[in-house]
Amino acid sequence: MVYNTRNNTSGISLKRIILLLVLSCLSVANGWAQDTKTATISLSYLQTDSTKTLKATVLSDNKPVKGPEIHLYVKRMFGMLPVGKAVATDTLGEALINFPMDLPGDKDGIINMVVKIEKDEIYGSVEVEGSAKWGSKPKGELSEWGARSLSASREKAPMTLVVVSIGLIIGVWGTVLWLIFQLFRIKKAGKQIKKATEAAI
Amino acid sequence: MSQHAHLGADNIAHLTDEEKREHRKEIREVVLRPLRHTGWAGWLWIGFLSVIFLIGCYAYYLQLKNGLKVTGMRDYASWGLYISNFIFFVAISLVGALISSVLRLTSFDWYRPITRIAEIIAVSGVLFAGLIIIVDMGRPDRVLNLFIHGRIQSPIVWDVIIVSTYLTMSVLFLYIPLLPGIALCRDQLTEKPKWQRWMYKVLALNWNGSHKQWSMMKKSIAVICVLIIPLAISIHTVTAWLFATTLRPGWDSTNFGPYFVAGAFQAGTACVIIAMFAFRKVYGLQKYLTEVHFNQMGKLLVFLCLIYAYFNLNEYLVPAYKMRGAEGKLLNDLFTGHFAPLYWSVQIFGMALPALLLLWKRARKPLPIAIIAVFVVVAAWFKRYLIVTPIMLHPYTPIQGVPQAWTIYFPTWIEIAIVSASLAGVMLIITVFSKFFPIISIWETLENEGIELEEMDNPVK
Amino acid sequence: MEKTHKEDSQRRKFLKFGLLAGGAALTGWGVQKKLYGDSIPDTGSKVKVMTADGKLVEVDSAHLTKHVSETAASNAAAREGIEGRKFIKVIDLAKCANARKCISGCQEAHNRAAPVEFLKVIKMQDTNLTAPYWMVQGCNQCDNPPCTKVCPVDATFKRKDGIVLIDNERCIGCRFCMAACPYGARSFNWGKDWGKATTGVDGTCHSPIGENGPVMGTVQKCDFCPERSLKGELPACVTSCPNGTIFFGDENEDVVTNGEDIFRLSELLRDRGGYRYLEELGTEPRVYYLPPVERNFPFEEDKEIHNSTE
């Protein structure tokens, strides 16, 4: 075959056809990708006496989705705690994740959680928040805080210490006051006698 | 009390009234002489002490201006000379209770001329203890916080309460037996300036020796005697607890309370011996501070040194047997390391040697015993330093990553100046007191010899 | 005529008294200010500010103190602490490589510089046969704190969120708490502006009560950065560490994180054999350590001397 090496811009060459094909394939694929199907996750909370299970149902266009991995996170003060392993949805679009029985919630026992699909090929990233009263009661404040103790503030001194110190202080300083009173009596006694001797003279 | 054996006093109860009055006149003359006349040596001494005190005041001004960084203390040795000086002052102030009270409750009457010396040492000691602790504070402008926000759980608050209580009690214990002496000054020192005579008049509380006054005075003394012993023991126990309530190796000891109290009695007694010697020499009081007194004080000092040695043995031998962790490193440092020369000098020259030497009667004569007492007091001061700072340089965690100066402690001139000023201040108070009030308790000395001043003042007609 | 004379002299007396009293007060305030007040030199550049009663005045920019939190907690609120939290720290000794970024991060956050360091990185070697390791130490915010027991004026106190805080407005500088702390966690402001950062850094973290920089003659220490926690930020040391050594969290939530990794606290301590320093002293510290096993890298000696000058 003789290749035409001249700069021939007229007509459609083989190179161009290949290029066009490739480009069109890419755009189709691109279109496919951009055309991410939107998926929604709905949560339901299944609880028995000894288990807590989160059921996440993934639907897209009201049809269950099989395959995407569901990640469960619990919202915490400084970040999100991953709970359990990622579970892929089954044919019904459902994924069951076990929730630990002893994870503390807030003071009312409520757990705020986030369920995510992360960077799925088809559905991208989806997340939904939920909350359930699944938290075990936190231990609350430090049990000793507010109680009377040696390390507490001045108002919360141990009772025995307060009683004994005040008792001792009153006892000793009472004596001091009595002694000072004696001094006044000595002074008065001297004045009386002086007056008496002066009167006698 | 005058029925008991009077050691060293000629029982002159058999003398006639006229002879007794002569005797009383003589003692009054001798005791009042230093109040009447101060020699050039006295003025020099007072001047010298005043200069040291003023230098210390200037040093404190510098410390107030620039903060505690002018001292040698840093984050590790955060307690230094001021705190060890504080313990030393509290220690010597216990002797007032020991001599004026403990001995008073026994039948040993020989000590009675010494009570006032012991008491003035106690008063000035505890006064300057309170002052030096304010010097150590980082924010002395906030000292009122101790009263507004004080926590009863804190050993420092216990210390503040008990120091002020003991100071008050000691002032009363000094003042009440002094009443006859003040009355004497009021009546006899007529050549003194007006303000001084006014002071005697006011302080004498119209004392005229009536039965009523004597009985009130003696009753008050009896009450204080009983109360001041637990107070004195408490003050130094609580001061010991400033250290024993911490978790530091070396301070974390159950022995600290009695250990400190025993050391306090020993150091205080030595102070009294030195003061006795000084007053006897300078004021010519040989007849009243006799060799017998020094002999007895010497025996007392031996006894106290031995008790203190017993507590030292418990304090150092038992941990040394175990050599636990950080404590072991500290003990090595004290016995054979950096602090060894100071530690062994203190133990030998301040405790072991005095106890041995004073067993020998010749050593209990005034001059030798005074010299030995000086060693005891100086060693006692350094012992307090050894209790405070080496422990702070041996924490549980190794000291790393800090400036070199923080790994050691050496006091700066400011600390030395302020501490010297406090020592000068104590001696100044004692000296000035002895210039205004009789340093010997005349009525108690006479009682010791069998003369009851109360009877002399109120002759049965 | 007489009346005005009397009035005059009374007025004079009042003025004199007023001047004296005012003078005394000013001197007292001046002395206090001189001893403990601001010692920053003027920069010369003035800034216009409005005073509380609506007047516009010009102040040298050096004397402006920038407050991070305008809703600064009252003394009482700061003494109680953040509701419902129990802060806890876990330090993974397997990760510490003596980078010392925690120290400099903490200094920056608190407006400090050498020689003041709230955190220390110490080379520890427990026995002759066991390997050395680097140990980060700060205040353990103990649950049975030996320091709050001995403070005579309630200037250091335990909050219900676990933090042991210092009130630098009340501290009298007796240093009893420093003597009582067996960990040596506390340091002291020995002079004016002791260890104050000179680079003009305005830290994001100020101790809640009365601390906008070093307060002369008072005590200071690591405070678990409560001002940052209020904003949902981790303490400065946690975020500064390049190796993720320090974990921080809330014991009530049973979670700690070093900024990147997040763990359940109870699992971490159980699986990694967590322990506390000087446990036998009974201070109940709130800082746990994970032993240096399976280290990421071998132990390396220090190549330079740190913090050697005052």
The DSSP code sequence of A89-137 is --TTSEEEEEEPTT-B-STTS-EEEEEEEEEETTTEEEEEEEEES-PBP
CA dist B171 and B93 (Å) reads 12
Q: Which of C144, C250, C251 sits opposite A151 (nearest CB)?
A: C144
Residue C109 has a pLDDT of: 87
Give the residue on C whose Cα is nearest the Cα of B389: C179
Residue C71 has a pLDDT of: 40
Alpha-helix residue ranges (DSSP H) falling in chain C: 2-36, 75-80, 101-109, 146-150, 176-180, 226-230, 236-240, 265-272
CB spacing of C154 vs A77 below 8 angstroms: no
Distance from A187 to chain B by nearest Cα, in Å?
Answer: 4
Distance from C195 to chain A by nearest Cα, in Å?
Answer: 30
Could you identify the residue written with the tokens 């003597």? C179
- What's the structural domain count of chain A? 2
Neighbours of C93 (CB within 10 A): 18
- On chain B, the residues whose CB falls within 8 A of the CB of C155 are 145, 149
What is the value of pTM for the model shown? 0.85
Give the max Cα distance, chain B: 86
Within-domain flag for C25 = no
Within-domain flag for A4 = no
Within-domain flag for B370 = no
CB spacing of B151 vs A154 below 8 angstroms: yes
Within-domain flag for B55 = yes
Q: Are residues A128 and A176 in the same domain?
A: no
Model confidence pLDDT, tens digit, residues A53-72: 888 888 888 888 888 888 99
Mean pLDDT by 10 residues, chain C (310 residues): 58 64 58 56 59 58 48 70 91 94 91 91 93 95 95 94 92 96 95 83 65 85 91 93 95 92 94 95 96 87 86
Model confidence pLDDT, tens digit, residues C168-182: 989 999 999 999 999
Its domain, for residue C167, covers: 87-290
Strands (E), C221-286: 246-250, 255-257, 262-264
**Is the bond preceding residue B177 a cis peptide, omega within 30 degrees?**
no
CA distances from B108 to A189, B102, B359, B451 (A): 32, 10, 20, 17
| Interface residue of A166, A185, A186 to substitute, partner B, most B CBs within 10 Å | A186
CA dist B9 and B447 (Å) reads 10
State the amino acid at position A15 in one-letter form: K
CA dist A123 and C6 (Å) reads 97
* Better-predicted residue by pLDDT, C59 or B373: B373
Within-domain flag for A158 = yes
- On chain B, the residues whose CB falls within 8 A of the CB of C152 are 146, 150-151, 154, 156-157, 160
Within-domain flag for C94 = yes
Within-domain flag for A12 = no
Dihedral of CA atoms A167, B146, B261, B268 in degrees, nearest 10, equals -120
Within-domain flag for A146 = no
Contact A134, A109 (CB under 8 A): yes
CA dist C288 and C275 (Å) reads 5
- The domain spanning residue C163 has which CATH number? 3.30.70.20
CA dist B441 and B414 (Å) reads 39
CA dist B372 and B361 (Å) reads 13
Q: Which of B397, B402, B405 sits opposite C137 (nearest CB)?
A: B397
Within-domain flag for C155 = yes
Within-domain flag for B382 = no
Residue B63 clears pLDDT 90, i.e. is over it: yes
Neighbours of B246 (CB within 10 A): 24
- On chain C, the residues whose CB falls within 8 A of the CB of A75 are none
CB spacing of B155 vs C150 below 8 angstroms: yes
Dig out the tokens for C284 from the structure.
């109940």
Model confidence pLDDT, tens digit, residues C264-296: 999 999 999 999 999 999 999 999 999 999 887
Its domain, for residue A59, covers: 40-132
What ipTM score was computed for the predicted complex, to two decimals?
0.90
Q: Does C158 touch chain A (CB under 8 A)?
A: yes
CB spacing of B138 vs C172 below 8 angstroms: yes
* Better-predicted residue by pLDDT, A133 or C12: A133
| Interface residue of C175, C289, C304 to substitute, partner B, most B CBs within 10 Å | C175
Within-domain flag for A13 = no
Q: Touching C: which chains, 3+ CB pairs < 8 A?
A: A, B
Nearest alpha carbon to residue A188 among B155, B101, B446, B206: B206
- What's the structural domain count of chain C? 1
Within-domain flag for A166 = yes
Its domain, for residue B110, covers: 17-290+411-457
Neighbours of A26 (CB within 10 A): 10
Q: Touching B: which chains, 3+ CB pairs < 8 A?
A: A, C
Residue A4 has a pLDDT of: 45
Helices (H) and strands (E) in chain A — how many of each?
2, 8
Dig out the tokens for A75 from the structure.
């919202």
Residue A101's pLDDT band (boundaries 50, 70, 90)? confident
Q: Which of B166-180, B407-421, C52-66, C165-179 has the lowest mean pLDDT?
A: C52-66
- The domain spanning residue A88 has which CATH number? 2.60.40.10
What is residue B99's DSSP assignment?
I
Q: Does C287 touch chain B (CB under 8 A)?
A: no
According to DSSP, the residues that pair with C57 across neighbouring strands are C49
Contact A66, A89 (CB under 8 A): yes
Neighbours of B435 (CB within 10 A): 15
Within-domain flag for A9 = no
Q: Which of B78, B151, B406 sits opposite C154 (nearest CB)?
A: B151
Interface of A with C (CB under 8 A): 76-82, 103-104, 106-107, 138-142, 144-146, 150-154
Within-domain flag for A112 = yes
Q: In what order do the strands lie in the sheet with A111-120?
A: A79-88, A69-76, A111-120, A124-132
Q: Are residues A44 and A128 in the same domain?
A: yes
Within-domain flag for B54 = yes
CB spacing of A187 vs B152 below 8 angstroms: no
